[in-house]
A and B are shown apart, each in its own frame.
Chain A
Amino acid sequence: MAERTIELTVNGEARTVVVEDRTTLADALREQCHLTGTHLGCEHGVCGACTVLLDGEAVRSCLLFAVQAAGSEVTTIEGLSPADGSLTTVQEAFRECHGLQCGFCTPGFVVSVTAFLAENPTPTDEEIREALSGNLCRCTGYQGIIKAVRLAAERLQPANAT
């Protein structure tokens, strides 16, 4: 099958990747960019583990072909935290609230929650649950994750910024 060369920005860096038309963005990120933080659970849109930001919006990278992302800006879990490797407020909150156990689902949750709180910084509990409905976790039972979102939202309030 013919391959194409495409250019896109990943975590602020210009990247050139060579892909088949059928290569998903998720596979291009993992196999060509070696960014294996984007996880693949189901590869058909259900589990949310592969969530990345495409031009700032949370999307399933398993339902997007890499060729479609040409010219776009992609942010993966690796691109959320500062260069010094410290954790973001959302990541800190997941750690403190036991929002993860095995960690397989965590990149998808953190990316989704980051996008969600950017749009809705003062969510109700119901809105939090609804926003989390697109990500599956087989370990935690979700309660720690919900707590983490609440804590992150609180800490991200301008009045609480340090």
Chain B
Amino acid sequence: MKPAPFEWHGPERLEEVLALLAEYGDDAKVLAGGQSLVPMLALRLTRFDHLVDVNRVEGLAGISRLDGWLRVGATTRHRVLERDPQVHEAVPLLARATPHVGHFQIRNRGTLGGAVAHADPAAEHPAVALALDAVMEVSSVRGAREVAARDFFEGTWATVLSPDEVLTGVRFPIRAERSGFAVEEVARRHGDFALVGVVCAVTAGAGAGDRLDRAALALFGVGGTPVRATTAERALLEGASLEEVGMAAANEIDPVDDLHASARYRRKVAGVLVQRALGRAIEEARRG
């Protein structure tokens, strides 16, 4: 099908984007890579009178380091995240999660800002942002604000962004020494949205011994938003076995039944994926 008619705007400066969004409010939508919005328009799941295309906006794409953070501009494409050595080195979880997004043709267009703002419950990037305690940078004519990842996602395709706001970038903390990361997901075919997925980040304690200083576990595909398995995280820090941690994570999520998988299946798989992901991440962290 074809999208309903709309007026396209192709601003080149952020101020113009903000002015357009302020003017049209609910009738306007930001268009980034178009890999999620255009299918929804084509299927007539949604329609807008105005699309504000941010692809040409100067300075909105790009990756930079600023004390302890790696800042990724909103229109930075998935393919850049996947290839840039700086991302692999500074935020390995982001680099490793990105190839799980769709297919290479999709990643050539899709953007980090789009993936985060779209907030699909089965998407990888919102979970990465949540696990790493990333910070979202948001702008509107009313001013700029920052939102912690844990406060950003509200539900399926819903975030705290208001219609006049644009996500300008996401800041990820640069990896600590002795940390490890892993992504595990089960999808029906490569490139499909995950039925269940897990991303994790751990930091091993200084000196010998099994102690972990930090453990973050975020699951996706198991509810309206990605979720941190905080009970499981605590159990892990207190020295529980991976099996116990997997069980704790499975018990604290509340997945749904849908035509792709049953809630019971999702819960079971989540526990197994948590064990696998943590096993690899901890090994990496201990290697230093």
Contacts and interface: CB of A to CB of B under 8 A. Distances in A.
A84 interface: no
Interface stretch (B18-26, B38-46, B135-143, B246-254): B38-46
Interface stretch (A41-49, A88-96, A153-161): A41-49
Interface of B: 1-8, 10, 34-35, 38-39, 42-43, 51, 53, 55, 79, 102-106, 108-109, 189-191
A43 B1 contact: yes
B190 A68 contact: no
B55 A58 contact: no
Interface of A: 1-2, 20-22, 24, 27, 43-46, 48, 51, 54, 57-60, 62-65, 67-68, 112, 116, 129-131, 133-134
B5 A20 contact: yes
B105 A60 contact: yes
A35 B106 CA distance: 23
Contact of A65 (B1, B8, B106, B108): B8
A130 B107 CA distance: 13
B39 A44 contact: yes
B101 to A, nearest CB: 11
8 contacts: A21-B8, A22-B3, A22-B8, A24-B2, A44-B39, A57-B108, A58-B104, A68-B34
A63 B32 CA distance: 11
Contacts of B39: 44-46, 63
Contact of B109 (A2, A63, A116, A130): A63
Contacts of A59: 105, 108-109
B4 A129 contact: no
Contacts of B105: 48, 51, 58-60, 112, 134
A67 B10 contact: yes
A64 B39 CA distance: 10
